Structure formats: C-alpha cells, structure tokens
Structure 1
Amino acid sequence: MAAMLDSKEIMDLKSYQNQANIFVKEYILADSLVPYTSVIGGIFACKMVYDLIHVIGTNYFKSYSSFAKLQRIEWNNRAISTIHAIFITAMALHYVFCSDLFADDQSTELITLRNSSLSTFTLGVSVGYFIADLGMIFWFFPSLGGYEYVIHHLFSLVAVAYSMLSGEGQLYTYMVLISETTTPGINLRWYLDVAGMKRSKAYLINGVVIFLSWLVARILLFIYMFYHVYLHFDQVEQMHTFGRILVIVVPLVLSVMNLVWFSKIIKGLRKTLAKRQ
C-alpha cells in the first residue's frame, strides 16, 4: 500500500514538473514574451534581494542596526549591485569567450544579428536591475550616486534594452557588461570603510584587486571591443542606424568615464600605499 502511494506521489510530482516545464517554455520563455518576463523578473529579484539583505543585516550584523537609515539603504543597494554583477559577468564571459553563439566560424549569420532566447532573457534581467537601481538613485538622489551614476546607468539601460528588444549587437553588449566584474570590489571597499577597516590589510588587497580588474575589464577589454568592431565593421554597418550609434557612442562615453574613474583609483591606491610606508 505504501509502495503504491509512493508511486502515485511520484507520478503526481512528474505531472506537476511537466506542466511547469510547458508553462515556462510556452509562456515565460516564449520569444515574444522573453523581454517582458525577464525585465519584470529582474526588478522582482532586486526587490527580493533588498528585503533579504535587510533581514540578514538586522538579525546577524549588530553594526547594521546602528547605521543611519541612508547607510542601511546603501548597504542593501550595494548588495543588489554585487549579486547582479556576479550574475551578468558570469553570463557575459560565457557568451563572449565560451559560447558558440558569437563564434566567427559557427554560423553564416551576421555576428551583429545573432541572439538566442537565453541571451535575450539574460539581458532582460540586467535591464530590470538598471531600472530598479536608477529608481533608487533618483529617489534618494544624490545619496546613492551623483550625476555620473545617472549618466552611466542611463547609457547602459538604453544600450542593453535596445540589444534585448532588437536582438542586434548582443555580442558587444556582453563585452561591455563584462566591466561589471569590478563592481563587487568597489562595493567591498565601501563595506570595509563603513566597518572601520580602512587601515586593514583586506582594504589594501581589495584596492589592488580593484586596480587590476579595472585595468583589464574597463580599459583593455574596451580596447579589444573597439578592435573587434573595426574588424567586423562591415557587419556593424548592416545594423539599424540607432544600433550602430549605440555600438560606437555608448562604449566611447563609458570609456571616458572609466578613464576618469581609473585616475581616481590610482590616486586612492597611492594614498593608501603612502600611509603604510
């Protein structure tokens, strides 16, 4: 009797799993719905992480409760950006360097027009994050970031959203999104500072890591991207006019901002090293 019940439960479970798979494939991941479900999912994920970090901070970190309200908000906000950065960096590295989707020898289709449901879904999650983060930046302006953050997020949002909706230039979008690999280090720097560990060895090591990751992900990788655009410019020219503008203008603007921020990182690292001598 118990065996029969177990067998029935297993069959019911498989039935539910099949129904769930059908729902995901035919509705959530249907080509026409992917952008919308992924964006909404990204926004809800940000909200869930924000609430989860608040609960964890309140119950497990004594210093969290002693923070001012804006400090707790920034703590939660930086946790969201860190998780998004880890997710999008992993996916971007996969698509740029590991996946066959954008490999030159894997398809006769223009590299600037290639996309998949999963690559589009991933960009949608990132769009959801940028929308949520911009909303918080505007709501608490300028506590969570000044005009440079607004400019950075607006350019990123427009470029990623266009690539998601049109399917164009997704390779270059992912190349730029690899720059998010520097975000966890930047956020950790803030956490260490707030925790009173500015003179610790961890703070110094993190500063060196930020310098190296910024150099690779936001300077050298952008140079590689521009070189890749140059080599495939005949394919870039076949994109829509707005897409061509985004492929060239957005990385240029972000490159200038990256260089300005990089100079500040170098100055900060020099000051930190000088204090230890």
Structure 2
Amino acid sequence: MGRTIDTVTFDPSYYPAAVVSCMVFLYLYKYTSPNLSSKFAPKYTSLTEVEQIDWNTRFNSTIHATFVSCMCVYSLIYDEDISKEPIWADSPMVRTSCAIVVGYMTCDILIMTIHYKKIGEAFYFFHHGASMYAYFYVMTYGVLPYFANFRLMAEFSTPFVNQRWFLDKLKYSKTSKIFMLNGLAMTITFFFVRIAVMPTYWKRVYSVIGTESFKRLGHISLVLVITCFILDSINLFWFYKMCQGVKRVLKIYAKKNMELMNNHVSIEKEE
C-alpha cells in the first residue's frame, strides 16, 4: 500500500529555507531596492512614500517571480518523477521552490500589515493566504509536486506586470514604444502561463481524481481542487482588468495617430 497523508511524516526540513527566503526579501525591500532604485532610476526619490513602498514590494515581486519560475522550468524539464507520479513524487527542487514562495509571501504580508493604511488590500491577503495554504502542504509533506510546479510557472508573467507599473511611475507615455511593447509582452505572457494553460491543468487534475493515489490524499485533495479554483478565478479577473487596460491604451494610441494624420493633412492643404 502506498503512502497516505496520515502516514507521511511531518517534515519541517524545508522551513529554514522559508525563513531565509523571508529574511532575504525583507532585506531586499528595506535596503537593496531603495539603494539600487535611487541610483538607476533617479525619479524614485521624488515618489511619494506610498509609491516608494509599492515600488519596493514590486522590486521584491520581480526578483521572486524570475527566480522561482526559472526553478520551475528546470523541474519540468529535468525532474521526470513529478510527471510520472504527480501526487506523491518527492521532489526536493519543487519543495524548495515552495519554501521560497512561502517565505516571500510571509515577507509581503508583513510589509502589507505594517503599511496596511497605505497599501493594504484585503484581496491580496486572501490571495497570499490561499497560495500559502497550498504550498505549505507541498513544502511540509512533499505531496502534489507536479501541480505545485505547474502553478508556480504562472510567475513568468509577473515581471512584465511590475514593469508596467514602474514605467507608469517613471512618467513614460502609455503610447511610448517601450510601454506598448511591455504591455504586449505582459498580456501575451499572462494569457499563455495563466489562462491558456487552464484546460491542460484541469485535464491533468481530472485524470487523477478517483485514482488510488488521489484517495490517499485525504483532506489535502481539497487543496488541489478548491484552492486552485479560487486562484484561477482571481487570474481570470486580473486578465479581464488587463484586457480593459490594453483596450484603453489602444484607444489612446489610435486617437494620437488620428490627430497626427489630421495635422499632416491640414499642413498639406495649407501648402
């Protein structure tokens, strides 16, 4: 008989990685981001206190997303066990990734709690709580490595989302080339890593439901279904908001081009 959630040993050996992750991101937020940002983006110093707090949290978010998503791609390519046994394969790489995520989100929650009146949003507490609940089980018990790794690859879109915010605060025009290109990359990446993959993910979930391995999960099976359903609902909401933003930018861009064309026609007539 295979392992069950009741017989799997409680394993806190990845907790130190989560603690180190939290401390590192707190340091990045407090010291690294302000120092580097003021040096390479002078306009950072002219931002309001709230904007600087938000900037520093997004700096953390970008570092975290880039690092973790690369780890996930490595696991997907080289860790064949998680594809063969998506529920019970013990993957140190995936568990480490989850520990880093838990540490990062703990740091983010601490920052949002301290500055709740300035940047706190209940929505993000809910999102982080749902994510940490799921990754806690992966980190602690080594279950669901394939699905955890699959979900974390969604972080590929995060740097582009943050970059859009940075460009906006640096006063780049929404119709500038760099703003438009980043927006295009953000929307395409978000769609492919968070929206388009939903059928593939849920097809794999459906393929394991009812199997012996799935039954041995016990109550943790709820993590696989309910938590991920909540996160996908949030992703759909974000994508809707993103599409609305793209629509607004395209309208501005079209209006700007129309005005340029009209001015050009007027000049030709005068000549």
Normalising by the smaller structure, the TM-score range is 0.7 to 0.9
Query: CA separation in 2, counterparts of 1:119 and 1:261?
Result: 26
CA contact 2:86–2:147 (8 Å) conserved in 1: no
Moved more, 193-202 or 56-65: 56-65
Which residue of structure 2 lines up, in the alignment, with residue 227 of structure 1?
Answer: 203
CA contact 2:66–2:156 (8 Å) conserved in 1: yes
Q: Is 1:218–2:198 an aligned residue pair?
A: no
Structure-to-structure mapping, 1:180-219, within 5 angstroms: 180-199=155-174, 200-219=176-195
Query: CA separation in 2, counterparts of 1:97 and 1:223?
Result: 20
Identity across matched positions, percent: 22
Question: What do you get for the CA RMSD once the two structures are aligned?
Answer: 1.9
What are the ranges of 5 or more consecutive residues in structure 2 without an aligned counterpart?
1-9, 255-271
Which residue of structure 1 lines up, in the alignment, with residue 239 of structure 2?
Answer: 262
Q: Which of residues 103, 122, 126 is equivalent to 2:83? A: 103
Structure 1 segments of 4+ aligned residues over 6 angstroms from their partners: none
What amino acid is the match of 1:44? M
Query: CA separation in 1, counterparts of 2:191 and 2:39?
Result: 38
Q: CA deviation at 1:141?
A: 2.2
Structure-to-structure mapping, 1:92-241, within 5 angstroms: 92-104=72-84, 110-141=85-116, 143-144=118-119, 146-199=121-174, 200-233=176-209, 234-235=211-212, 237-241=214-218
Query: CA separation in 1, counterparts of 2:144 and 2:117?
Result: 32
Superposition TM-score, scaled by structure 1 size: 0.81
Which residue of structure 1 lines up, in the alignment, with residue 220 of structure 2?
Answer: 243
- Deviation track 1:179-221 (CA, whole Å, cap 9, x = no partner) reads 1111101100100000011321111111111211111111122
CA contact 1:168–1:239 (8 Å) conserved in 2: no
Larger RCO, structures 1/2 (Cα 8 Å, 6+ apart): 2
Query: CA separation in 1, counterparts of 2:120 and 2:47?
Result: 18
Q: Structure 1 residues 116, 147: CA separation in 2 closer, same or farther (over 3 Å shift)?
A: same
Query: CA separation in 1, counterparts of 2:192 and 2:115?
Result: 32
Q: Is 1:46–2:25 an aligned residue pair?
A: yes
Give the 3-state SS of the residue equivalent to 2:80 in structure 1.
coil
Aligned residues: 242
CA contact 1:211–1:265 (8 Å) conserved in 2: yes
Query: CA separation in 1, counterparts of 2:228 and 2:205?
Result: 11
CA contact 1:229–1:236 (8 Å) conserved in 2: no
Which residue of structure 1 lines up, in the alignment, with residue 71 of structure 2?
Answer: 91
Q: Which of residues 10, 30, 34 is equivalent to 2:13? A: 34
- Deviation track 1:106-134 (CA, whole Å, cap 9, x = no partner) reads xxxx4301123333222111110011111
Query: CA separation in 1, counterparts of 2:120 and 2:72?
Result: 25
Query: CA separation in 2, counterparts of 1:114 and 1:144?
Result: 39
Superposition TM-score, scaled by structure 2 size: 0.83
Q: CA deviation at 1:87?
A: 1.0
Q: Structure 1 residues 235, 180: CA separation in 2 closer, same or farther (over 3 Å shift)?
A: farther
Q: CA deviation at 1:226?
A: 0.8
What amino acid is the match of 1:81? S
CA contact 1:189–1:203 (8 Å) conserved in 2: yes
Q: Structure 1 residues 140, 190: CA separation in 2 closer, same or farther (over 3 Å shift)?
A: same
What amino acid is the match of 2:54? E
What are the ranges of 5 or more consecutive residues in structure 1 without an aligned counterpart?
1-30, 105-109
Query: CA separation in 2, counterparts of 1:58 and 1:100?
Result: 44
Query: CA separation in 2, counterparts of 1:78 and 1:87?
Result: 14
Q: CA deviation at 1:98?
A: 3.8
CA contact 2:88–2:213 (8 Å) conserved in 1: no
What amino acid is the match of 1:130? M
